[in-house]
Amino acid sequence: MPLDAMIDKAMRLLKAGRVERLSYNQFNVIGDHGTYNVVRNREGKINCSCPGFQSRGRCSHSTAVLIMSGQSRRR
Ligand SMILES: [Zn+2]
């Protein structure tokens, strides 16, 4: 998936309220094909449980979490 399309999809997930913050570094993202766990480690690295992240190292869910945590940091 091109980066722009992934950011678009991430924004869509955020606007639809499909990113749920469980704790400081843990999120549930309700994707189109299932609900995934997104976790951020101490170094700020993101990990997602979806197959796309396992094979490509990035996905719309983890991007959505990055956007969300970036926003909360600026507030
Ligand atoms: Zn994912």
- Total domains present in the chain: 1
Instruction: In whole angstroms, give the CA distance from residue 10 to residue 16.
Output: 10
Is the pLDDT at 74 greater than 60? The verdict is no
13-61 pLDDT, tens per residue?
A: 999 999 999 999 999 999 988 999 999 998 888 999 999 999 999 999 9
In angstroms, what is the span from residue 75 Cα to ligand 1's centroid? 25
Longest dimension (CA), the chain: 33
Domain region containing 52: 3-74
Instruction: In whole angstroms, give the CA distance from residue 14 to residue 17.
Output: 5
In angstroms, what is the span from residue 49 Cα to ligand 1's centroid? 6
Q: How many CA atoms lie within 13 A of 40 on its CB side?
A: 20
Helix axes 60-74, 3-15, angle to 10 degrees: 60
In angstroms, what is the span from residue 14 Cα to ligand 1's centroid? 13
In angstroms, what is the span from residue 31 Cα to ligand 1's centroid? 8
In angstroms, what is the span from residue 8 Cα to ligand 1's centroid? 14
Instruction: In whole angstroms, give the CA distance from residue 35 to residue 72.
Output: 22
